[in-house]
Structure 1
Amino acid sequence: MDRARWQQALALLPVCLALTFSLTAVGSSYWCEGTRRVAKPLCQGHPGGSHCIHYSSGSGDNGSQAVQYIWEMGDDKFIQRRFHVGLWQSCEQSLGSADERCRSFQSVVPAEEQGVLWLSIGAEVLNILLTLTSTILLGSRVSYHSSGFHWLKVDASVAILMALAGLLAMVAHMMYTTIFQITVNLGPEDWKPQTWDYGWSYCLAWGSFALCMVVSVMATSRYTAARLEFAEKKSMQGSQHSQHDFQEPKASEGVWETDAAPGLAGRALVSVSGHLPSDALGKVSMC
């Protein structure tokens, strides 16, 4: 692989990374992570369990008058359950097991905010499509090395597409952040988290945005440099042609001054002297 193709392959690398980050982030459910405070259930049939409330029944003749003694007090009656949320679903840890219980994130978002959620998802999908188109264009530049193809137009197209992809990604991430915070405050009680923070998928999504903007700047720089180089070559070629066209009249004028002028003057003198009378020859003078 020559140096030009190696540079083109390096330019393709950040675009592929941006596409991979976007696909991974959109498909995962770790945009936000946290814990929920859930009350423990009664230990019915599991007296030794650590995720339930232990109780004992007092002795009595009548079952309705039995007294139940609960040993857990204060925060011991609650358990912290981990959860993680993405664009599509929200998953929560099950009690007493490593399994997770998942449900659609749209089902916990308030009804008046669900349209904004779909706008965020649509912007993420458009971001992926634009990044994929840029990847195909740059990949064709690496695969098909031909001087007849207008590679300047490819750089200009990639710069515009990646800038649009980055702007769409930024808007989508900000809309999702707003929707999640509104859901935390106004969502159902059986979903509201006690503590939460952004997850690794959210970081990947913003990393994809940063790569999109970097690729756009790089493509714009390549396009500008190529245009300046092309304009400089064109101006140099035009100056060479103008110098060549300007030197030809000078050469003809030099010949006229050195050789052609005396010959013409001599012939004019002979022709004039042939028509004058013999006594007027002495009066002819040349200035």
Structure 2
Amino acid sequence: MKTTRKCRALISVGLNFLALFFSITAFITTYWCVGTQRVPKPKCSKLRTHQCIDYGVNETDPNKVVYSWETGDDRFLFRQFHTGIWFSCEENINDEREECRSFIDLAPASEKGILWLSLVSEMLYIILLMVGFSLMCLELVHSSNIIDGLKLNAFAAIFTVLSGLLGMVAHMMYTQVFQATVSLGPADWRPYNWDYGWSFCMAWGSFTCCMGASVTTLNSYTKTVIEFRHKRKTFEQSLREEQAREAFGYFRERGLHSISKDVDDYHGQTPQGSRRSPAHGSSPSLDLSDTTGSLGEEQC
């Protein structure tokens, strides 16, 4: 029983550790959503001769109207971007560096409250995961004591389930805020196309591991309690049977002892009764002789 309970505890600790690692990684990275943004091509210059619009480099008259013969998507550049909970980073078309800005500032005013709730829920999710992980580690230390282990197991399961629910709500709220920002956000940020990134996958992977850890912990708690109750019931039943056998043997010996005692008493009283009977038989004869003698004396 101790071996299987320890194995289940190790599985719960491993799943909780993976959930904690994935959640922290997703929380601090900026690859929840990735995609491309369409921006106008810059004007060509001596330093930039490609991916630009050439209006005529040698034209110096500002009053002269210049034309671009590029139409459609040829007039735009598609730069990569990736967005997380905290920041959104876009590719700089002038150099190879990235420009990052706060995603909280990009979100519409009507969605900032939901975004802050998502941030708080993510923090609570990570904190509760840490608490559950600590309780599961303590359960491994107190594996020799079943009662203490069950108490720690129950609290770890409760904290893990609560953290999983908070994480699910936080992920869904962030998805809602991002979709609203795509439609109502700044024009220079709105993506041309986008998809979910590896940070978003890690966030939901963390939720999956968290739920797996909570289910394993609850299963361990339930199975240990059932085994404990079954062993207790079996022990009480065997104890009652043993007490019943002892009581039956006691009353049996007591009954045989009382019967043998009655028989001994009976055999001890029978000779005395037989000796008394002749005495009673001789007394009437003695009384009759005395009576006849007295009658004769009266007649004389």
Instruction: Normalising by structure 1, report the TM-score.
Output: 0.87
Matching residue's letter, 1:39: P
**Match of 2:53, as an amino acid?**
I
Conserved? CA contact 1:56–1:70, under 8 Å = no
Q: 2:170 matched to which residue of 1? A: 172
Per-residue Cα deviation, 1:227-249 (whole angstroms, up to 9, x for no partner): 11100111122112212222233
Within 2, Cα distance between the matches of 1:183 and 1:234? 60
**Unaligned runs of at least 5 residues, structure 2:** 280-300
Q: Secondary structure at the match of 2:56?
A: strand
CA offset digits 1:137-165 (Å, max 9, x no partner): 12223345543761112222222221111
Shift of residue 70 of structure 1?
Answer: 2.8
How far the C-alpha of 1:71 sits from its partner, in A, is 4.4
Aligned to 1:92: 90
Distance 1:172 1:130 in 2: 14
Aligned to 1:266: 264
In the alignment, what sits opposite 1:31?
32
Equivalent-residue separation in structure 2 for 1:259 and 1:212 (angstroms): 70
Corresponding letter in the other structure for 2:38: R
Alignment TM-score, normalising by the size of structure 2: 0.83
> How many angstroms does 1:64 deviate by?
5.5
Report the Cα distance in structure 1 between the residues aligned to 2:10 and 2:59, rounded to whole angstroms.
81
Runs of at least 5 residues in structure 1 that lack an aligned partner in the other structure: 282-287
Structure 1 residues 130-139 or 200-209, which shifts more? 130-139
Deviation beyond 4 Å, 4+ runs, structure 1: 2-7, 57-60, 268-277
Map of 2:203 onto structure 1: 205
- Distance change in 2, residues 1:193/1:255 (3 Å): same
More helix by share: 2
Deviation string 1:69-109 (CA, Å, 9 cap, x unpaired) is 43433322110011111100111100132211111001111
Amino acid at match of 2:96: A
Task: Tell me what 1:49 maps to.
Answer: 49
State which structure, 1 or 2, has the greater radius of gyration over its C-alpha atoms. 2
Matches within 5 A, 1:13-24: 13-24=14-25
1:279 alignment partner in structure 2: 277
Give the superposed CA RMSD.
2.8
Distance 1:246 1:26 in 2: 65
Residues in 2 aligned to 1:209 and 1:256: alpha-carbon distance in whole angstroms: 70
Aligned pair count reads: 278
> Which residue in the other structure is 2:191 paired with?
193
Q: Quick check: 1:120–1:176 contact (8 Å CA) kept in 2?
A: yes
Mean alpha-carbon deviation: is it higher for 66-75 or for 213-222?
Answer: 66-75
Percent identity (aligned):
38
Check conservation: 1:58, 1:67, Cα contact below 8 A: no
- How do 1:53-132 and structure 2 match up within 5 A? 53-56=53-56, 63=61, 65-132=63-130
Q: Deviations over 1:188-211 (max 9, x none)?
A: 111111100000000000001111
